[in-house]
Structure formats: structure tokens, C-alpha cells
Amino acid sequence: MQPSAHIHEPAANPLRRTVYRVLETSTGKKRGLSLVFNLTLIIVITLNAVAIILNTVPSLKLRYDHIFVDFEIFSVLFFTVEYVVRIWICVENEKYRHPVFGRIRYMLSTTAIVHLLAILPFYVTLFHTDLALIRILRIFRIFRLFRITRYSKAFQVIQNVVEDKKEELVLSVSFLMFMLVIISSVMYYLEHPTQPDQFSSIPATLWWGINAMATVGYGDIHPMTPLGKVLAGVTAVMGIGLFALPTGILASGFAEHVRSQKTGQKRHCPHCGKEL
């Protein structure tokens, strides 16, 4: 007896399929319920950003605290229902086809984790009285803003460019960190005998290295020895070029992406050749 070919396939559900088409973002134009839902979600996320900002103003918090609290409860309930519904409909996607493991895989995806972090702090604070922990967890409400990237073409372009150039970006950032450690280590040995309080250790000197390479120049810590000043000057000039590396890579990626869109050229994976 042969096992059924669809033993791991979820049962067909027209309602679930319809909800999936409404909620999930596609590259085409939105119409009907999909357009209404996406606009509603963008408005709620934007209002959350405004509420988070205004809630830090003491006078507004004192006067409209009840409004902020009510809107927070509404937002959490709204995002919770959406999160649960997305877990329910995710099996309509081929990547999450399995009714159990597919949903677990979706819950561990970056998108689902961002959704969870947007609502989790509220539920944790209901069962925890540590004010310090509550203040830290409230910071995670800002994750609600990241959700708007799914509905913005500009953010999708940025995501695509970073994905295409991730190897070059990792390489340039790794080289930048390598040079930062080397320069900070040399500066420590040059300046520590003269300024043991300022250049107390290599980790402490890393702060100077970041300021020098980024040409910020806070001035709270600076070399005094002749060799230290020479190294600081070389580091400042070299830092301009080092920080220009990832900028140039991203600029090249944006140019390639815009060119491919204008010419209608299809993008392919540089490794497997599969159409993206």
C-alpha cells in the first residue's frame, strides 16, 4: 500500500486561501480588501511611531496618559490577532507547506520574529513587576516600525541591494574592524606610558579609534606624543577611504538595481544562476 502523496499537505481551505491573498504582500498592485488592509496596517504602525515619540514628552504623558494606554492596548490586540492569523495562513506558502513544522519554521523566520517582538513586551509586563525590565522591554515596541518596510517599495529596494551585496559588505566591514583593532593596539602602546588614565587599555583605546577613523573628533581622548599624533593623522585620512568602501558598494548596488528595472533585465543569483 503506497502512502498518500499529500500526507503532509494541509487540507484545502478556501477561507484561509482568501485571507492569505489579502494579508500577504505581493509585487503587484493592491486592490479591494488587500489595499484596505495594507493601508490600515500602515496607518496603525505610523500612529504607533507617533505615540511612542509623544509618550516620552512629560507634559503630554501626564495629560494624555489614558489615551496612550488605550491606544497601546488596541495596537497590541490588533497586532496579536494579525500574528495569529499569519501563523494560521502561512501553510498556503510553499515554503511553510507542512501543517506543523511549516508553521514552526514560519515562527522562526525573521518576519515572524519581528512581529512577535512588537507585541511580546506588553504581555511580559503583565506578569512582571521589575520596573527596570519593563523599561527595557518597552524599547522593543520600536520593532513595530520595522514592519512598515514590507509595504514600502523603497525599503524593498534597499533590502534587495543589501542582499545582493552582502558578501562585499561583510568583507569591507570585516576589513574595517581589523584595521580598527590594529590601529587602536598600536596607539595604546604609543600613548599608554604618557596617558595611562586615558589610554588605559586596548578596549578603552578602541573608543579613540572609532572617533579617529570616523573623523568625528570628539576630543575627549587624543594623543600627545609625536608618534601618536602622526598615527592619528594617518588614521583620520585612512578612515575616510575605509568608510567609503561600504558606501561605494551600496551605491554600485543601487545603480545596478535601477538599471535592471529600467531595462527590464531579470536578476539572477550570482552563485546558482537562479532567477531572483
Task: Answer left, alpha or beta for residue 219, where phi above 0 means left and psi between -120 and 50 means alpha.
Answer: left
0.75 surpassed by pTM: no
Do 210 and 82 share a domain, yes or no? no
Residue 195 and residue 123 share a domain: no
131 with 51, same domain: the answer is: yes
Same domain, residue pair 42 and 145: yes
Measure the CA angle with vertex 164, ends 105 and 95; round to 5°.
Answer: 20
Bigger pLDDT: 23 vs 80: 80
Q: In this structure, are 224 and 250 located in the same domain?
A: yes
Residue where a domain stops, chosen among 118, 151, 184: 151
Parent domain of 222:
157-264
Higher pLDDT, 65 or 136: 65
Q: Which residues contact residue 253 at a Cβ distance below 8 angstroms, ignoring those fewer than 6 apart?
A: 161, 162, 164, 165
**Is there a contact between 247 and 272 (Cβ–Cβ < 8 Å)?**
no
Q: Which grid coordinates belong to 176?
A: 574595517
**110 and 174: one domain?**
no
Domain match, 253 and 173 both:
yes
Residues 127 and 162 in one domain: no
246-274 per-position pLDDT tens digit: 888 888 888 888 888 777 655 555 555 56
CA distance linking residue 110 with residue 49, whole number of Å: 21
Residue 82 is assigned to a structural domain of this protein: yes
Q: Compute the mean pLDDT over every residue in the chain, rounded to the nearest whole number.
A: 81
Q: Select from 235, 249, 237 the least CA-distant residue to 172.
A: 249
Q: How far apart are CA 251 and CA 30, in angstroms?
A: 30
If one counts the domains in the chain, the total is: 2
* 115: in domain: yes
Q: What was the pLDDT predicted at 27?
A: 45
Digit-coded pLDDT (tens) for 151-193: 667 777 887 888 888 888 899 889 989 999 999 999 999 999 9
- Tell whether 62 and 177 lie within a shared domain: no
Tell me the per-residue pLDDT of 21-47, one tens digit each, with 9 for 90 and over. Answer: 888 755 455 667 888 888 888 888 888
**What are phi and psi for residue 224, nearest 5 degrees?**
-120, -20
Q: Is residue 3 part of a domain?
A: no
Pick the range with the lowest mean pLDDT from 3-7, 12-16, 143-147, 179-183. Answer: 3-7
Cα–Cα distance between 63 and 261 in angstroms, integer?
50
Residue 175 belongs to some domain of the structure:
yes
pLDDT tens for 88-140 read 999 988 888 888 999 999 999 888 888 888 888 888 877 766 666 666 666 66
CA 259 remoteness from chain centre: 26
Q: 18 and 138: one domain?
A: yes
Q: What is the pLDDT of residue 7?
A: 47
Place of cell 521589575: 130
**End-of-domain residue from the set 119, 136, 151:** 151
Q: What's the CATH code of the domain at 23? A: 1.20.120.350
User: In the numeric block, which cell numbers belong to residue 107?
Assistant: 515562527
